[in-house]
Amino acid sequence: MGYRQWWNMYILNGMIVVDTFFVYSGLLTAYYLPIELDDKKHLNPFLVWLYRFIRLTPLYLAVLLFHATLLDKLGSGPLWPDTIQLEQQRCADNWWLNLLYLSNYFNSDEMCMFQSWYLSVDTHLFMVAVVVVYCMWRWPLTGNIMMAVFAFLAILIPFAVILSTRSDPFMLLYPHVIKDLPSSQYFRGMYVASHMRAGPYVVGVAMGYFLYKIKDIHFTIPKGWVYVGHMLCVFMCLATQYAGYVFYVPGAPYYVLGAALYGALHRAIWGTAIALNIFLLVRGRIEWLHKLLTWPPIVPVSRLTYCAYL
């Protein structure tokens, strides 16, 4: 019954929230990398990629090994073999694909730690973004063309895939799907594929580089406009999320063009709302909100988010 109630879309289409973190990732990459380039004047992409690998992988490896060896020994029960022991076996067989950040493309039906798809996608998009951002900094015309192509492909590829396969525009969270995500063909073929998730990351890259370009231009957006902007961003997010209800309506006709358009655009629209919200936070400086977001006790907690995610 819950699938027929539109107000449940905050859950049924709630996985779009993940795209918020792709925006953050792209934004931080495109903001801090040019600052580093201003200081060092050169870039070796392979060293940047290696640094990221070294920074993320040790803790990731520890959690992978725990899943592959000790996880199934922590409990028992009638559902244990079909859940925890299944996860342990998948990790024992495929942990090395996770370490190579390729688990979202190879043996994805036996993916170890299904939540780890995000790391693989983010790594692939980061590798592309490093090159694009460097080119925008070093050769603005060439870099801007590359950025435009990156953005165009981020929309075109999901549109073309959904149009050609007549797939759902996003992963519909029916019980048989969430029971075991890696066994879902949609999860494997579309949800975790890097080429299907680039939209919000590209939006983040664009906003990050824009913030870098204006970092020495001092201006503050009036408080009233900031509040209006925040409300518009919230409306964009809610409208994008709740529009997915039409794909849950029982017996509703399937329009492949509508599905392809929604599937190609909804993540980018969500990402645009998040990116604009960040811009308003940076340039609006609502005092109470700024104090809340820079509250010192939040800082050590924020350092633990990667551990909590794993």
d(CA 140, CA 145): 8
Question: If you average pLDDT over residues 154-183, what whole number do you get?
Answer: 91
Q: Is residue 77 part of a domain?
A: no
Q: Is residue 92 part of a domain?
A: no
What pLDDT is recorded for position 6?
A: 79
Of 54-58, 91-95, 250-254, 289-293, the one with minimum mean pLDDT is 289-293
3-state secondary structure of 240: helix
Q: Note the pTM of the prediction, 2 decimals.
A: 0.93
Burial string for 134-167 (b: 16+ CB within 10 Å, else e) reads bbbbeeeeebeebbeebbebbbebbbebbbeeeb
What pLDDT is recorded for position 270?
A: 97
| pLDDT tens, position by position, 37-63 | 999 888 888 999 999 999 999 999 999
Pick from 137, 150, 127, 106: which is nearest to 52 by CA? 127
Quote the DSSP letter at residue 304. T
Q: Is residue 184 part of a domain?
A: yes
* Confidence label for 83 from pLDDT (cuts 50, 70 and 90): confident
Question: Residue 278 is part of which domain span?
Answer: 2-41+116-309
Q: Is residue 109 part of a domain?
A: no
What pLDDT is recorded for position 154?
A: 97
Greater pLDDT, 136 or 299: 136
Q: Is residue 110 part of a domain?
A: no
Number of domains in the chain: 1
Q: Is residue 65 part of a domain?
A: no
Q: Is residue 75 part of a domain?
A: no
Q: Is residue 89 part of a domain?
A: no
